[in-house]
């Protein structure tokens, strides 16, 4: 039987009793997948598209976390985020928006000025521990990801004796820290592609169900990542079919939320998986 969870978004209880789709909105000039980059002029069109295609949430990111990406200042990160958050707050004030940041200051600014509903932190609170307090004080769900180091050096830190054992311990400790910070709704993200080899990623996907012991919703982000395109020796632009296969397996193995670039194909896939699970579980 599939685990189901509930989280509170904008003071409303949301039951994750079906796969939820988080659409990527990258307002960065250097994200790994060129097709995901959105200029200020293209934000409104991109938002309207992903909402019409069935996205449940939009995740706005102003800091590229691809391996070796340039570090930027909090000021630059806010400047990149502002056009998207302005538009969303104005045109879609009730739509659940997540901000992809590891900085407490940026998270607090986004919640206080734009009523952002979710904080998505690639570092799980390790790069800026105060971000946990921000999420707790504002009562928003917190997505904590597994990563070692920083985006600049994480791919030099890929040795694991037992990756699933290490991630289980990591998230158990994160759960304690989140609870101490007042976070009621913790979502865990195994961090596919972050401080992991291609083989690590596939082992993690195969054994993803082991993380259900933590009794937390699992979010996965594998869309067009190197575990697809490098393994197949293709470009990110050509990796949609492989991405859909990965997300199908992730949902079958216990994930509740998928973070995607391509909403319409993901929506169709998720509906088929959900129908199968509800019909025969």
CB 80 within 8 A of CB 62: yes
Alpha-helix residue ranges (DSSP H) falling in 104-207 = 104-114, 130-138, 163-180, 198-206
The DSSP letter of residue 59 is: E
259 in active site: yes
Close Cβ partners of 141 (under 8 Å, ≥ 6 residues apart): 7, 8, 9, 117, 118, 119, 135, 183, 185, 186, 187
Active-site entry in 225, 230, 275, 278: 225
Active-site entry in 209, 259, 275, 278: 259
Q: Compute, in degrees rounded to 10, the torsion defined by CA atoms 199, 205, 211, 215.
A: 160
Distance CA(140)–CA(118), nearest Å, equals 6
How do beta strands 20-26 and 257-260 pair? parallel
Cβ count near 251 (within 10 Å): 26
CB 163 within 8 A of CB 203: yes
First to last CA, the chain: 6
Close Cβ partners of 68 (under 8 Å, ≥ 6 residues apart): 151, 152, 155
165 in active site: no
The set of catalytic residues is 225, 259
């Amino acid at each position: 039987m599939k685990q189901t969870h509930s989280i509170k978004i904008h003071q409303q209880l949301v039951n994750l009793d079906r796969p939820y789709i988080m659409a990527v909105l990258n307002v960065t000039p250097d994200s790994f997948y060129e097709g995901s980059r959105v200029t200020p002029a293209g934000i409104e069109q991109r938002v309207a598209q992903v909402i019409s295609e069935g996205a449940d949430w939009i995740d706005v990111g102003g800091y590229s976390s691809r391996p070796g990406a340039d570090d930027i200042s909090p000021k630059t990160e806010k400047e990149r985020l502002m056009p998207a958050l302005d538009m969303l707050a104005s045109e879609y004030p009730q739509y659940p928006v997540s901000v992809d940041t590891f900085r407490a200051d940026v998270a607090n600014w986004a919640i206080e000025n734009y009523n952002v509903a979710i904080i998505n932190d690639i570092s799980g609170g390790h790069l800026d521990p105060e971000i946990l307090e921000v999420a707790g004080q504002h009562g928003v769900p917190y997505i904590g990801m597994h990563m070692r180091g920083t985006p600049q050096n994480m791919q030099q830190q890929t040795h694991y004796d037992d990756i699933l054992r290490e991630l289980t311990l990591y998230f158990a400790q994160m759960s304690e820290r989140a609870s101490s910070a007042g976070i009621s709704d913790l979502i865990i993200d195994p961090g596919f592609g972050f401080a992991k080899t291609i083989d690590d990623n596939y082992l993690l996907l195969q054994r993803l169900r082991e993380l259900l012991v933590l009794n937390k919703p699992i979010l996965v982000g594998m869309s067009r990542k190197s575990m697809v395109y490098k393994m197949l020796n293709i470009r990110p632009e050509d990796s949609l079919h492989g991405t859909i296969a990965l997300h199908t397996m992730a949902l079958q193995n216990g994930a509740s939320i998928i973070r995607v670039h391509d909403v319409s194909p993901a929506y169709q896939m998720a509906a088929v998986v959900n129908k199968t699970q509800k019909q025969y579980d």
